[in-house]
Amino acid sequence: MFRRHHAIVATLCLPTIALLSAGCGDDEKATPQVIFEGRLERGTGNDCKDVGGLFEIGAFGVAALEQSSAPIKDGEPFDQGSVAVICSVTSAGADEFDVVGSVALSGATGGFFRVDGKFKTTGEQTGVHAIFSSRKSGNTYEQLDRACIVRYATAVQGVAAGRVWGEITCPKVENSGAQTSCAAIAQFRFENCAQ
């Protein structure tokens, strides 16, 4: 009787265990998300005609004011458009990562930002390439010589597998169509990236 009872319980539990464990192997990937804020400035030796803000997505928050950050996920609406995020932050050796991140915001106040380069976990990140555009002006600017620098300006900024948060400064982003150049400054936070 005792063996039959265990056999019945085991028979009834096995399908349930199989059903529950089926979901365990199928790790759902988190949706990439971003916070971005950028602007163009005249800068040294530039003749910038598009001085001012590019576009913003989400909110970085202010710890001192107890304001939480608000990242926006890929495919979500924001402001007058929707957000498209593609990013990967993959290991490239000890304390170094290959970073590629891009975000586009549709709508009249949107724009596009892309950053790529090798990022270490400490120090200034040099040799970084970036593209900035604004839907308001219709202009696109690119730092062709990879002279952008990314800094981790606060203790919470940095790089790790699947995420990167920093402040980028590009001394001379160029718009070849309008034959003009600007300095570009932005803060970006990509999360849930491919790793």
Task: With cut-offs at 50, 70 and 90, classify the pLDDT of residue 193.
Answer: very high
pLDDT at 112 over 70: yes
pLDDT at 4 over 60: no
Judge whether 141 and 161 are in contact, CB under 8 Å. Answer: no
**pLDDT-above-90 percentage for the chain:** 76
Reported pTM = 0.84
Judge whether 181 and 48 are in contact, CB under 8 Å. Answer: yes
Q: How far apart are CA 117 and CA 122, in angstroms?
A: 14
Q: Which of 99-103, 115-119, 136-140, 175-179 has the lowest mean pLDDT?
A: 175-179
136 — alpha (psi -120 to 50), left (phi > 0) or beta? alpha
Q: Which two tokens stand for residue 73?
A: 């996920």
Considering the chain, what is the average pLDDT of its residues? 88
